[in-house]
Amino acid sequence: MNLSFVTDTSTLCVFDLEALRHRLHDDADWWSIPEDEVAEVNLGNVAFLGLGKDGRFDVRLVDEVHNGICVMLKCPSGRMFIGAGEEVTGGELEPEAVRGGGFYRVEPGTYVVHAALVVPNQIQLSLSRTVNSPVNRFLVPVSLMEKNHI
């Protein structure tokens, strides 16, 4: 699967809508507070991936990503959103893919999201099901521009 999206927050987000439903009535920009962003990533509710710049990005879903970062992610419903950070659940809204991106069906469970910025504005992304816990231990927001692995 290939998709494109446009971001004004330099961020790609990947999440199951059910995993962030508790943020529906929160402020739309709740995730702009680094502590809140990192807390939700560490709980496995969302993968926010900093891109280093705004603009249009192409995402290629591949079987394997080399030299990227990985984030553990809960997927309770099997309906995953991949797209701009601006579309994350909050402010009484859920993603509609109005900035591009899209929804991806997977089996419910826990996934390892591997991602890498392979060339400017092109992201490789893989989703691998795992039996491991969806817990991450990041201290700062995750960035594809740096090697801040788990």
Whole-number pLDDT of residue 147: 53
Give domain status of residue 126, yes or no. Answer: yes
Give domain status of residue 101, yes or no. Answer: yes
Predicted TM-score (pTM) of the model is: 0.94
Give domain status of residue 9, yes or no. Answer: yes
Which tokens belong to 13? 């987000």
What Å distances lie between residue 113 and 19, 30, 42, CA to CA?
A: 15, 22, 13
Give domain status of residue 146, yes or no. Answer: no
Contacts of 91 (CB under 8 A, 6+ apart): 26, 27, 28, 29
Give domain status of residue 138, yes or no. Answer: no
For residue 36, is pLDDT > 50?
Answer: yes
Give domain status of residue 144, yes or no. Answer: no
How large is the average pLDDT for residues 7-24?
97
**Number of domains within the chain:** 1
Whole-number pLDDT of residue 1: 84
Q: Across all residues in the chain, what is the average pLDDT? A: 94
The two beta strands, 109-119 and 122-130, are antiparallel
How large is the average pLDDT for residues 57-70?
94
How large is the average pLDDT for residues 21-50?
97
Give domain status of residue 142, yes or no. Answer: no
Task: Give the C-alpha separation, 150 to 145, whole Å.
Answer: 15
Give domain status of residue 148, yes or no. Answer: no
Query: Domain containing 119: what range?
Result: 2-130
How large is the average pLDDT for residues 110-121?
94
| CATH number for position 44 | 2.60.34
pLDDT band at 148 (very low <50, low <70, confident <90, very high): very low
How large is the average pLDDT for residues 56-61?
98
